[in-house]
């Protein structure tokens, strides 16, 4: 079993839709949870960072972590064409320098 499993997509939605992106992980030692957005031919950009179970909201983005189920989600409200990108769930152990990446979900928001 891979350490991080991410819904592979691709995902195509109309503008204004609510988008749900999901990952599961296997190692309960993981304590830090991040979502990065990567546009084509660009480096990943940090969207959300959290280390506790529950919801964290930032504008149209909500990150949700359920440590008991080892499940993390990113919700995008009122999706825009500019949200079209690949979204990476990324997790880390406490005290570890290494990040563990999901394979990414490619999202297309159609005008």
Partner 1 sequence: GAVVSQHPSWVICKSGTSVKIECRSLDFQATTMFWYRQFPKQSLMLMATSNEGSKATYEQGVEKDKFLINHASLTLSTLTVTSAHPEDSSFYICSARRSGGGETQYFGPGTRLLVL
Binding map of partner 1 across residues 62-101, x = CB under 8 A, - = no contact: --------------------------x---x-x-xxxx-x
Nearest to 25 by CA among 49, 46, 45, 6: 6
Cβ atoms within 10 Å, residue 21: 22
Cβ-based nearer residue to partner 1, 60 or 103: 103
Is 105 a binding residue for partner 1 by CB under 8 A? The answer is no
Which H or E run includes 6?
strand 4-6
Contact criterion met (CB below 8 Å) for 19 and 105: no
Least Å from the CB of residue 92 to partner 1: 4
Is 49 a binding residue for partner 1 by CB under 8 A? The answer is yes
Is 34 a binding residue for partner 1 by CB under 8 A? The answer is yes
């Amino acid at each position: 079993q891979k350490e991080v499993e991410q819904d592979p997509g691709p995902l195509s939605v109309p503008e204004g839709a609510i988008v749900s992106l999901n990952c599961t992980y296997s190692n309960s030692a993981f304590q830090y949870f991040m979502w990065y957005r990567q546009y084509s031919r660009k480096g990943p950009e940090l969207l959300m960072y959290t280390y506790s179970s529950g919801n964290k909201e930032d504008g149209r983005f909500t990150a949700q972590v359920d440590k008991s189920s080892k499940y993390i989600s990113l919700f995008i409200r009122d999706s825009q064409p500019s949200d079209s990108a690949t979204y990476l769930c990324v997790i880390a152990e406490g005290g570890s320098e290494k990040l563990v990446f999901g394979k990414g979900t490619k999202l297309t928001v159609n005008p």
